[in-house]
Chains A and B, each alone.
Chain A
Amino acid sequence: MLKDITLGQYFPGNSFIHRLDAMIKLILSAVYLVIIFLIKNFYGYGLLAAFTLFTIIISTVPLKFVLKGIKPLLWFIIFTAILNLFMTGGTVIWQFGFLKLTKEGISFAVFMMLRIVFLVLGTSLLTYTTSPIALTDGIERLLTPFGKMGLPTHELAMMMSIALRFIPTLLEETDKIMKAQMARGADFQSGNLIKRAKALIPLLVPLFISAFRRADELAIAMECRCYRGGKNRTRLNESKIGYPDIIACVFVLLFALAIISVNKAG
């Protein structure tokens, strides 16, 4: 169950995609997300699928692993599709009571499903190929202009990297406490909703206590090493934008242009 959560997981590697600059990757992912919503017809989605598949292949992350990211969202996707299926007005092709199935509804539902799937694939590819440290570094650099306006960018980035860093630790801890309580006969899987919510108390109390303890220890450890926020802090690894980044930008730009022209054609 916990194994299904792939969000924020990093798949170490040394592919072209892994080596791209994190800030560029963030911008390109944002462009990718915008493109998903620009697409108007199935040719566009064909192109999108080809592009996504191509990036996944050169990233060397196994396709099976990328697809696993969709699993926890399966019910959400199905629910959205069904809602769109029956809530869209247009030419009615089948009716049962108040349920109306329309031609527009079908194509809209399919569009919606495809959009969510590609949204998840694109964003999970970003986190699979970018280490949490690089990712927050990229975010910090992206936010620099707002820093001049008084936004505490460094602190935000630091908070984010700490949060990302602790996701696996907390999952591990959850797994351990769950097992320890199961060894004492706790049952997390059966019973009605209220019973199940109650069964979570033996899990959540120790989990919160350990999270607070960890936060406390981390704060002290950071202070001991003279951490005092963003001002005048230098970097260990200065990142530089190189040819691969430019190639990637050009490639995505071409893809965007292709989508726009296909949109006109359809």
Chain B
Amino acid sequence: MIIKAENISYTYSEGGPFEKAALYNVSLTINRGDFVGIIGHTGSGKSTLVQHFNGLLKPESGRLTVDGIDTSEKKADLKKVRTKVGLVFQYPEHQLFEETVRKDIAFAPVNMGLSPDEIHDRVIWASRLVGLPEEILDKSPFEISGGQKRRAAIAGVLAMKPEVLVLDEPTAGLDPRGRDEILRQIKKLHDETGITVVLVSHGMEDIANTVNYLYVMNNGRIVMHGEPMKVFSRYEELEEMGLTAPQVTKLMKKLCGLDVCTVHQAKEYILGVLRRA
């Protein structure tokens, strides 16, 4: 396993007038090569949790280890942890700052102290992975489209060649086409390179098709986990938490009491039934 959280809790501005407990006794494990989803409605603590994964936040109690490194330890090498676990923030395009997209993607490799050749290779590699055309690399990050900005920002994290890629709501604010493209590329990245991916989302449809394990958060706690199909089959509970299972899951449950979480599976099943009839 690469990330392991044991009973971690976290409170924002402890002792102040706006003290806010955000995580209570959260435990989870993420294994190498996994494609893990974390879902929960806004304010359930997803972003707080994933910021623990690369040591930006340290648990108040409990323990979090990344590839055996305890992030709370005084002499823990956090720089190393941050290159192992690449974290793409919500609305990552807000962090772009360089004159050209190329320089912006190169920011992390430069910070890692790599050679110019290596940096160049990584920029090309990362921008190809997220589907950014080469001619865009020399434009200003402020003159390209919203979807391209988002890709450039994701490439900026990928350029560290992390072992785990954590994406905090990567599709927020994108149109359906941009959303599908980003998700497809992430899936492709996972399949081709075998990188471990953690995908945070509040939309079910995003996650149903892609992840192989799912954690559900509510009010700072992990309330359910398991394979997507198992989790979605409890959609009444999900709805009580303000989440919805994919439409097709509900439909298939009503039609034939079957647990299904993607349109593709539903199609296969219905076709099967029709053929037999």
B112 A185 Cβ-Cβ under 8 A:
yes
Residues of A near B156 (CB, < 8 A) are 184
Across the interface, A181 reaches (CB within 8 A) one of B16, B86, B95, namely B95
Contacts of A65 in B (CB 8 A): 16-17
Q: What 4 additional pairs, Cβ within 8 angstroms, besides A176-B89, A184-B82, A186-B107?
A: A180-B95, A183-B157, A185-B111, A201-B97
26 contacts between A and B (CB under 8 A): A3-B13, A12-B17, A64-B15, A176-B89, A176-B94, A177-B95, A179-B89, A180-B92, A181-B107, A182-B56, A183-B54, A183-B82, A183-B86, A183-B87, A183-B89, A183-B157, A184-B111, A184-B156, A185-B82, A185-B160, A187-B79, A187-B111, A205-B97, A206-B94, A206-B95, A206-B97
How far is A236 from B86 in the complex, measured between Cα atoms in Å? 49
Across-interface contacts of B13 in A (CB, < 8 A): 3
Interface size class of B (residues with CB under 8 A): 20 to 34
Q: Is A145 an interface residue (CB 8 A)?
A: no
- For the complex formed, measure the closest distance between the CB of A231 and the CB atoms of chain B, giving whole angstroms: 37
Cβ-based interface call for A89 (8 A): no
B209: A residues at CB distance < 8 A: none
CB-defined contacts of B56 to chain A, threshold 8 Å: 179, 182-183
| Contact A202 B97, beta carbon cutoff 8 Å | yes
B interface residues with partner A (beta carbon < 8 Å): 13, 15-17, 51, 54, 56, 79, 82-83, 86-87, 89, 92, 94-97, 107-108, 111-112, 142, 156-157, 160
At the interface, yes or no: A108 with Cβ under 8 Å from chain B? Answer: no
Q: A65-B17, A176-B89 are in contact. Are A184 and B94 (CB under 8 A)?
A: no
Q: Report if A144 contacts B (CB, 8 A).
A: no
CA distance A183 to B97 in the complex (A): 15
Q: Is A91 an interface residue (CB 8 A)?
A: no
Residue in chain A with minimal CB distance to B162: A183
**Interface flag for A210 (CB, 8 Å):** yes
Question: Within the assembled complex, what's the spacing in Å between the Cα atoms of A209 and B149?
Answer: 14
Q: Which of B56, B111, B142 neighbours the largest number of chain A CB atoms within 10 Å of its CB?
A: B111
Instruction: Specify which chain A residues have a CB less than 8 angstroms from the CB of B142 in the assembled complex.
Output: 209
CA distance A177 to B94 in the complex (A): 8
Residues of A within 8 A of B94 (CB): 176-177, 180, 206, 210
